[in-house]
Structure 1
């Protein structure tokens, strides 16, 4: 059977490129052919420069192997600066904005040999406004947000990986809706220089790919840790099944996937037990919302002052909410979040990872917005690593999965056990 180049996983393509059995130009042309075929339906891209990207690919093919991502095309969320493509942050305010330098994560990927295929669509300042991007599985449905274009581009085989950010649930939610693996690492382990801030104590850089080992490859560059390329796990993982206090919002398809996962993983040798639900954790969802609103109000103060007419009503509502929170109240909320995390950290003495819903269920219709970030808020507030694992389908044939949550700083362990879980759930 002939290899379909644009459908190669990042790891498969990287191995062929490292052995010079595939050229960067060949792979990039295949990806651009897919983009040309599907972009009018998916609308994943905010900016493309095919000729410039191909010139860079051909230059790579003439030189030495640059690094572990040599020749891999990738998508860059349009919240991240690029020196050779415009960066709009999803807002008309910045429609003509051309940065002088790359964001740090873009520079790291280029240094490792990767090629920027283009800028992927983000919602307005990575918040809530419905984007033009559609779910590649069925364009009547949303791809999620705010990393809409990145998730859709990977899911539709336009690129093998893409970069995203999460402030509430902007990686795990679109990964879930589009049926790809999405990784939000421990807060602060990947640099944010050159990325438009939304909430400085929450904003986290991550990535999308089609397998967990692909994520490990990309994360090894972003986190400057080659060990992340080795995700072998041979033990019996201790998995805590955590329904969350928002279980009443979970749709039947996710409940079914949750039960299926518990059964399959227990039969595969994992130690699987339910996690006790602390009743006072209900307040953490609102706590994250308040912290995000306060910090966004500060981060977007200039735009609000000078360009309020070009900002969506929902974004202005968020900024108004933030303006109503005092400095003292904000500091007390951060203190409370820290105290709650310290208690939650104890769970990881008993469990290696938690397995919990990423979203309520299948993707909603596109006209209804980008979906509810409810099931990502607490984990972003806690700054813990999260990896979404797709493995099931809902009643409309759309993807369903769960997210594995690890202890803060245990990114390698979380990805290794995530790969172990995903392999068994997708057999």
Structure 2
């Protein structure tokens, strides 16, 4: 099948601002793209027939999809579960309200896995429909990759932004914890749940973040960026040997290309305290899921998947002392992570163990993402590489907590370097 063609948010806004197109036409094009493409991809669970269109705002004319784990007052919000079929919240999630204030057109809700956990939805990978798009932000990634909309909003608790972005060959950005508000999300693990963004490229997702938040995050060409001043750490985590051969080769090519472009490369061995922190993610997530989703289990047990019920029960059976231990390990890990970035500026790791797995029964494995979700650090999946049969491979870049602008700026530069080397 032909490779999908994502829409460049940057190009779309340039066309709008130069008068080549106008917001109603831009939204109409997105509606038509969804109409013609989504029967095959199934990225949307709800599409607005007459979406509201603004004028004169930063995101006017930009049609975006909202992951169906985030509340929308004017659209059904089902959280990927039959329990909430037809559910209509009274208010928008905070990030949805923010998008509306900035002028974006909320064109529909994108498919999520059940409660943003591991039970897959119907969405397929636009690069090969026999493969998963990843999860839990399945529809958000696939809608951008398939060229239906230029940007979407998703969430990540383990690897639910980075992994689908990597599998679908686009940029997925998980900001520093709480840079984007999580109020109005169906929470799974509140100390981990993070709102993230998708767009075609790093430059596009940075522009989306900038226009959405009003923060200085865009990454227009900057001649002041000197690669020799940027210290890139090749993060040799304990999971690295488990990446498949294609992913290992892509990471090696990325590091060699970055070095050839003048970046300073520093091998970084994973500290034991961060190995321990990675192991803390699962019990911490389970305990909080037991709290957050326990009421659902009590009321709707017959309507929940077995794997969701299992993790809720695991969390409810866990002693509070075990949760406290996991929290302490996470806190020590955050201190070690801060110290790590005293010696480097950006870490590079795989975004996923390999390309998107075949079949839709699994959304893949978040082993390379969940540590950084727990640490609260900003991370982004840089699209550039692919396997011999055309499945995308993403390179994950990570920065110090709060250093989102540097992360986006360096990642945009690296994306160009990687594409030349790919």
Q: Answer whether TM exceeds 0.5 for this pair.
A: yes
Q: 1:152 to 1:8 in 2, by over 3 A?
A: closer
Report if aligned partners of 2:171, 2:200 keep a CA contact under 8 Å in 1. yes
Find the partner of 1:109 among 99, 102, 105: 99
Q: CA deviation at 1:229?
A: 5.5
Output one character per residue of 1:206-240: Cα deviation in whole Å (capped at 9) or x when no partner.
10001112111221244431354657351222100
Separation in 2 of the partners of 1:381 and 1:218? 24
Q: Does 1:157 align with 2:147?
A: yes
Report if aligned partners of 2:351, 2:396 keep a CA contact under 8 Å in 1. yes
1:211 maps to 201
Provide TM-score, normalisation by structure 1: 0.93
Q: Does 1:373 align with 2:372?
A: no
Report if aligned partners of 2:219, 2:408 keep a CA contact under 8 Å in 1. no
Report the secondary structure of 1:240's partner residue: strand
Aligned pair count reads 413
Report the secondary structure of 2:342's partner residue: helix
Separation in 2 of the partners of 1:344 and 1:227? 23
2:225 maps to 234
Output one character per residue of 1:106-138: Cα deviation in whole Å (capped at 9) or x when no partner.
111111111011100000000000110000111
Q: How does 1:325-340 map to 2 (within 5 A)?
A: 325-340=318-333
Report the secondary structure of 1:242's partner residue: strand
2:90 maps to 100
Q: How does 1:2-401 map to 2 (within 5 A)?
A: 8-50=7-49, 52-53=50-51, 56-57=52-53, 60=54, 64-66=55-57, 68-228=58-218, 230=220, 232=222, 234-236=225-227, 237-401=230-394
Provide TM-score, normalisation by structure 2: 0.94
Separation in 2 of the partners of 1:182 and 1:7? 13
2:415 maps to 422
Output one character per residue of 1:306-359: Cα deviation in whole Å (capped at 9) or x when no partner.
001111000111111111222222122111111122112212111110000111
Output one character per residue of 1:38-64: Cα deviation in whole Å (capped at 9) or x when no partner.
2121100010122x11xx23xx3xxx5
Separation in 2 of the partners of 1:243 and 1:272? 13
Separation in 1 of the partners of 2:77 and 2:384? 34
Report if aligned partners of 1:288, 1:377 keep a CA contact under 8 Å in 2. yes
Report if aligned partners of 1:190, 1:222 keep a CA contact under 8 Å in 2. no
Report if aligned partners of 1:391, 1:422 keep a CA contact under 8 Å in 2. yes
Separation in 2 of the partners of 1:299 and 1:9? 37
Separation in 2 of the partners of 1:141 and 1:347? 36
Report the secondary structure of 1:297's partner residue: helix
Q: 1:8 to 1:134 in 2, by over 3 A?
A: closer
Output one character per residue of 1:394-415: Cα deviation in whole Å (capped at 9) or x when no partner.
1331001210000011011111
Give unpaired runs (5+ residues) of structure 2.
Answer: none
1:3 maps to none
Separation in 2 of the partners of 1:153 and 1:193? 24
Q: CA deviation at 1:173?
A: 0.4
Give unpaired runs (5+ residues) of structure 1.
Answer: 1-5
Report if aligned partners of 2:217, 2:408 keep a CA contact under 8 Å in 1. no
Separation in 1 of the partners of 2:134 and 2:7? 24
Q: CA deviation at 1:243?
A: 2.9
Separation in 2 of the partners of 1:73 and 1:174? 20
